[in-house]
C-alpha cells in the first residue's frame, strides 16, 4: 500500500488529482480495437510480472535465502506464467469498450477468442438495436444480442446481460465481473436505435426483459461446478413463468367489468419495431 502511494506501478493517461497526486493506476479503456486491447493487456501484465519478480527477489534477500546458483536461472526467465493466483488477483483489468452500431470490423470470433483466453480483459458491449444486421440462424436477434448466450457455452469467463433499465442488475453485475479473475462480458442493451418505437428509452429497454427477448442474467464460473450454481436469472420479472403476465380490466359492450390476464411476449416487443 505504501509503495503504491509513493510510486505508481503503472499509469496509462493518468492525471493528477486535486491534491496534485497521481493515482496509483488507471484502468485502460480500449475502444473498437481487439488487437490493441490484447496488446495493452500483455504490456501491463509484463510490467506487473517485473514488479512481482522484484518483490519475490527482495523477500528472499531479506530472509537471506537467495542463492545465486539456484535463483538466478529461475528469475532470469520469470514471466507472466509464473505469477501466483494471489498476484494475478492484484493485476487490474483492461476494459474493451464496443458499441454494436460501430463495431468497425470487430467480429464475433474475435470477441469469443478474448472471452476464452483466460486474460483479465473485460468486454463492455453496448447494444443499440437487437435485431440489426444478420440474425442468427433460426432466430430474430443479431449476433451481438446473442453474444451473452454464446459466451456462457465457453464456461470460462464472467457474463452479465441486462438492459440499461435494470439498474440494480447492472451495478451488482459490473462489480462482480470486475472482481472476477479472468475475462468478462458486460452485454447491455441501451435502446438508442432509430428503428425502435417512440417510447422513452427506459420503457423500450424494460420491454426487452419483460418480453424475454433480452433476459437478465449473470454467469459466474467461480460460484460452483454446475450450470445451476453458476447461472443466476432471478433478476427477470416473474422469472418462474414462461411469459410475464399482468391483469387487464375492461368493460364489455354490455357494460360489465371483465378481468383477463395479458402475456407480454417477443411478438409484442417486435410490434414496436419500425
Q: pLDDT tens digits, residue range 209-225?
A: 999 999 999 999 999 99
Statement: residue 164 has pLDDT above 50: yes
| Residue scoring higher pLDDT (75 or 137) | 75
Per-residue model confidence (pLDDT) at position 54: 92
pLDDT, mean of residues 92-102: 88
Question: CA 261, 263, 267, 268: dihedral to nearest 10 degrees?
Answer: 70
Per-residue model confidence (pLDDT) at position 137: 53
Per-chain mean pLDDT for the chain: 85
Other C-beta atoms closer than 10 Å to the C-beta of 165 total 22
| Chain centroid to CA 132 | 21
Statement: residue 5 has pLDDT above 50: no
pTM: 0.81
Per-residue model confidence (pLDDT) at position 139: 65
Per-residue model confidence (pLDDT) at position 21: 55
Q: pLDDT tens digits, residue range 237-247?
A: 999 999 999 99
pLDDT tier at 24, thresholds 50, 70, 90: low
Strands 217-219, 158-163: pairing kind: antiparallel
pLDDT, mean of residues 115-126: 92
pLDDT tier at 3, thresholds 50, 70, 90: very low
Per-residue model confidence (pLDDT) at position 196: 66
Per-residue model confidence (pLDDT) at position 270: 85
Cα–Cα distance for residue pair 185/97, rounded to 1 Å: 10
Per-residue model confidence (pLDDT) at position 2: 35
Return the residue matching grid coordinates 503503472. 10
Other C-beta atoms closer than 10 Å to the C-beta of 100 total 22
C-alpha cell of residue 46: 509484463
C-alpha cell of residue 158: 464472467
pLDDT, mean of residues 228-236: 94
| Residue scoring higher pLDDT (25 or 114) | 114
Statement: residue 149 has pLDDT above 60: yes
pLDDT tier at 181, thresholds 50, 70, 90: confident
Per-range mean pLDDT, top range of 10-24, 68-82, 83-97, 163-177: 163-177
Lowest mean pLDDT among 153-167, 195-209, 219-233: 195-209
| Residue scoring higher pLDDT (48 or 5) | 48
Give the C-alpha distances (Å, rounded to integers) separating 213 from 81, 208, 270.
41, 5, 9
pLDDT, mean of residues 79-96: 87
pLDDT tier at 15, thresholds 50, 70, 90: low
Statement: residue 92 has pLDDT above 90: no
53: helix, strand or coil: helix
C-alpha cell of residue 17: 488529482
Amino acid at each position: 500500500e505504501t509503495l503504491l502511494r509513493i510510486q505508481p506501478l503503472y499509469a496509462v493517461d493518468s492525471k493528477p488529482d486535486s491534491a496534485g497526486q497521481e493515482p496509483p493506476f488507471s484502468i485502460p479503456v480500449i475502444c473498437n480495437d481487439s488487437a490493441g486491447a490484447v496488446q495493452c493487456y500483455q504490456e501491463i501484465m509484463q510490467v506487473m510480472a517485473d514488479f512481482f519478480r522484484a518483490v519475490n527477489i527482495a523477500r528472499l534477500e531479506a530472509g537471506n535465502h537467495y542463492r545465486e546458483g539456484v535463483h538466478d536461472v529461475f528469475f532470469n526467465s520469470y514471466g507472466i506464467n509464473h505469477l501466483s493466483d494471489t498476484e494475478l488477483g492484484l493485476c487490474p483489468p483492461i476494459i474493451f469498450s464496443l458499441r454494436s452500431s460501430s463495431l468497425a470490423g470487430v467480429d464475433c470470433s474475435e470477441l469469443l477468442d478474448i472471452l476464452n483466453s483466460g486474460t483479465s480483459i473485460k468486454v463492455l458491449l453496448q447494444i443499440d438495436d437487437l435485431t440489426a444486421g444478420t440474425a442468427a440462424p433460426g432466430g430474430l436477434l443479431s449476433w451481438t444480442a446473442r453474444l451473452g448466450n454464446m459466451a456462457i457455452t465457453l464456461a470460462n469467463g464472467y457474463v452479465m446481460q441486462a438492459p440499461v433499465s435494470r439498474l440494480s442488475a447492472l451495478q451488482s453485475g459490473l462489480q462482480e465481473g470486475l472482481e472476477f479473475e479472468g475475462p468478462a462480458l458486460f452485454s447491455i442493451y441501451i435502446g438508442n436505435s432509430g428503428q425502435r418505437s417512440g417510447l422513452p428509452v427506459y420503457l423500450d429497454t424494460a420491454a426487452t426483459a419483460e418480453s424475454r427477448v433480452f433476459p437478465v442474467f449473470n454467469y459466474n464460473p467461480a460460484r460452483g461446478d454446475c450450470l445451476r450454481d453458476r447461472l443466476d436469472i432471478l433478476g427477470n420479472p416473474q422469472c418462474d413463468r414462461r411469459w410475464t403476465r399482468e391483469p387487464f380490466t375492461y368493460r364489455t359492450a354490455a357494460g360489465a367489468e371483465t378481468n383477463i390476464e395479458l402475456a407480454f411476449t417477443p411478438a409484442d416487443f417486435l410490434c414496436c419495431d419500425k
